[in-house]
Structures are given as structure tokens and as C-alpha cells.
A = this chain, B = another copy of it.
Amino acid sequence: MATINQNYLKLPGSYLFSTIAKRIREFEAGHPDADIIRLGIGDVTRPIAPSIIEALHKAVDEMGTEEGFHGYAPDLGYAFLREVIAREDFAKRGCDIGADEIFVSDGAKCDCGNIQEIFGLDNKVAVCDPVYPVYVDSNVMAGRTGTYDEAAENFRNVIYMPCRKENGFMPELPKEKPDLIYLCFPNNPTGAVMKKADLQKWVDYARANDAVILYDAAYEAYIAEDDVPHSIFECEGARSCAIEFRSFSKTAGFTGLRLGFTVIPKDLTVDGTSLWSLWARRHGTKYNGAPYIVQRAGEAAYTEAGRAEIRAQIAYYMENAKIIREGLSDAGYEASGGVNAPYIWLRTPDGMSSWEFFDHLLSEANVVGTPGVGFGPGGEGYFRLTAFGSRENTERAMDRIRRVG
């Protein structure tokens, strides 16, 4: 008799963004004329940059010819893309990462979700709280956690590292020793960043404790300030303790094109086994590569023209972030983030819960954001707004928020 993976049943029924969608539908049913502005889900809205569109057309034309057709991609991705990544994202920042240490994929979500597979089920996982749900849920599904604790609103046998105003939204080195440490900076959802010296402490800690850091750098393109590392491999010793995830989604607007990559140094070993070789085996067995045309699109994002266009898109979103920050400040809110990240993290007013504030903002201003508690109990009393809307919607949303206070 077949059986199911019982670990799946540990997951609470409803996914954050489904619950949000349901509440919006209910509100709309009662207020059919409401003009709702969505600053909730972190999806981009700007069109793909012209240089990238051009590269896509060119690659599509190739695929229609006998000599230009490309079948299965190389397991790790095309060399033309891995080499430009190694040079532009790593060598130019002084990071010693080879093109053959880069695994091209269809996005950081898949990689972040799948990476846990190469580790034993006995590994203890540490995550920030609040946190991007994929890190925790993928470990729940694998059976690396305990059951869901209804009272604590989190999972047993996971080390949660609170990130709240009191500690500057920075996780503290945990007392209990973790084996796998998920870090995401610039952070989703808080928008906080870690300075290089602080990240170095985590690298040193991981090395001292034989832990592996799973570093999600999906938002590195939004870093505006100096002394904020774009890659964990800027830190000394990271090659022997860290894996890094990168994405084209927020960098170049690829949420609908799907491209990302994972960096695993060849000298990173656990139990005397190379994690590079395990991930290569997973890639070879369960994955068939990102589309050729999308890898060509990714390459175009590194051309001079492509970079300029992408920088302009990021500047557009970051101007939105500024408008949101200033609008919130005018309206008397306490908010952080939005300087090196496309997310603004605000304190709900008057001791309102995250969901109370969600309902308040939806009904009074017809603006949708994301309740902080949706990212874990550490997010209770907070609320996330994203800078990915259009300028017009962002401005209109802030006018309304100023008005309702």
C-alpha cells in the first residue's frame, strides 16, 4: 500500500499569499468599486530591458535554424553565461569564484528549496524570524523539523533567530549550535542589510562550528551603500563554509523568465564529501537546465547597455522605495529598509497586530501589503510594503496612507 510523505501534513493549511488573496476577494465582493493598489507580493512590474529583449529575439531565431538550434543545455549551464557571471559578479568584487563553481538554474526559489536535499536529515536548521517561508517549509517537507507549534506559531526543532527593532533586525549568533544557517541579505522581508564585518562574524562562527551558511543574495543589486557585501564570498574563509544563491528576478525583472544560479566552491566539504559534487549529481539527475534563450537573456544583462538599462530599472524601484519611506515618515510611521532593498518594513501603529493593520489599510486606504507575521512570529506587529509597483500606484498609495494616517 502506497503511503504519503507525512511531513507535508505538518505544514499549516494555508499559504500566506493565498490568505491575502482570499481577504482581498472578500473585500472586493463587498466593495466592488474599490480601486485597490497592491504593494504586497514581491513581483516586479517593469518590462524586460531592450537589450535583453533583443538577445531573446536573436536566440529565438537561432532555435528556428538547423545550425543555431540548441537542445539539452550543459548540466551546469552554458559557459558563456557562467563565465560572465564569474567575471562580473565575483572577480570584479575580489571574490575567488570560478565559472565551474556556478550552477545555472531557473531561479533562486528552486535552488533554496532544493539545496537541503544534499544534507542529512539530522542537520539542525537556523533561520531568521521573520523569514522567507521557503527555507523553513522545504525543511519541514523533508522531515528535518518537528511538528508545528500552534502556540509559538513556528516549528519545533528549528532555531529561530529573532530580528526585530531591538537588535536592529540583525540575527544574533545562536546559543544552540546550528548545522545549516540560512541568511538572506539584503533581507526579505525586513530590507535590512549586514555590514561586511558582521557577515564575517557569521563566516567565522560557521567555520568554528562546522556549519554551512546558505546565503540568499537575491537582492544584492539593490545595495546602495558602501561596506555592504554583495556576496558572502567577499568574506575571508567563506569558500569553506558557504553556498550562495543568486537570482535574475529582482536584478533584471526575470520573475516571468526564470533564471538564477547557485555558487558552490569546489573546496567546500562536509563529512569529507564535496558539496559541489553532490549538487552536480542532483542537477544531473533531477534537472535539465534553464532554456538556452533565457541563458542568452541572462548574458545580455551583463552587457554595457544591459547593465545601464537594469540600473535604471533598479533606480526606478528605489525611487519608489524613497517615496514609500518618506510617505510613511510623514504619516508618523516607524519604518526601516528601502535603502539597500526593495522592501520597506513598518511597525504597525497603536499595537495593532499585523493582520489587523492589513485589514485597516485595505478597508481605509484600499492598499494591500503583507502582514509581517506571515513571515513568522517575529514579524508580528510589522508590515511589508514593496517598491515594485508602478510610480503612479506607489504615489497614489502613499497619498492615501498619509490621508488615513
- What is the interface of chain A, defined by CB distance below 8 A to chain B? 1-6, 8-9, 11, 15, 41, 43-48, 50, 53, 56-57, 60-61, 63-66, 68-73, 106-107, 109-110, 113-114, 117-123, 133-134, 137-138, 141, 179-180, 209-212, 253, 255-258, 270-271, 273, 275, 278, 281-282, 284-294
Contacts and interface: CB of A to CB of B under 8 A. Distances in A.
A73 B291 CA distance: 16
Contacts of A179: 1-3
B291 A291 contact: yes
A179 B73 CA distance: 34
A43 to B, nearest CB: 4
B120 A5 contact: yes
A210 B2 contact: yes
B258 A137 contact: no
Nearest to A55: B60
A78 to B, nearest CB: 10
Nearest to A42: B72
Contact of A141 (B72, B113, B117, B270): B117
Nearest to A255: B71
Contacts of A66: 45-47
Contacts of A180: 2
Q: Top 9 nearest A-B pairs by Cβ distance? A: A113-B286, A3-B120, A53-B64, A43-B71, A1-B210, A2-B179, A71-B255, A70-B256, A56-B60
A50 B379 CA distance: 51
Given A56-B60, A64-B53, A123-B3, A118 B8 contact: yes
A278 B2 CA distance: 14
B2 A123 contact: yes
B258 A289 contact: yes
Nearest to A143: B121
A4 B279 CA distance: 11
A73 to B, nearest CB: 6
A140 B72 CA distance: 24
Contacts of A291: 256-258, 291, 294
Contacts of A292: 256-257
Contacts of A15: 284
Nearest to A64: B53
Nearest to A287: B110
A282 to B, nearest CB: 7
Contacts of A120: 2-6
A11 B270 contact: no
A120 B122 CA distance: 17
Given A15-B284, A53-B64, A256-B291, A275 B4 contact: yes
B138 A258 contact: no
A387 B370 CA distance: 53
Contact of A107 (B6, B109, B288): B288
Most B CB atoms within 10 A — which of A110, A212, A255, A278? A255
16 contacts: A1-B211, A2-B179, A3-B270, A3-B271, A4-B278, A43-B72, A45-B69, A47-B69, A48-B69, A57-B60, A60-B60, A71-B255, A109-B288, A110-B286, A117-B141, A137-B285
A2 B211 contact: yes
A44 B73 CA distance: 12
A57 B59 CA distance: 10
B64 A47 contact: yes
Nearest to A134: B285
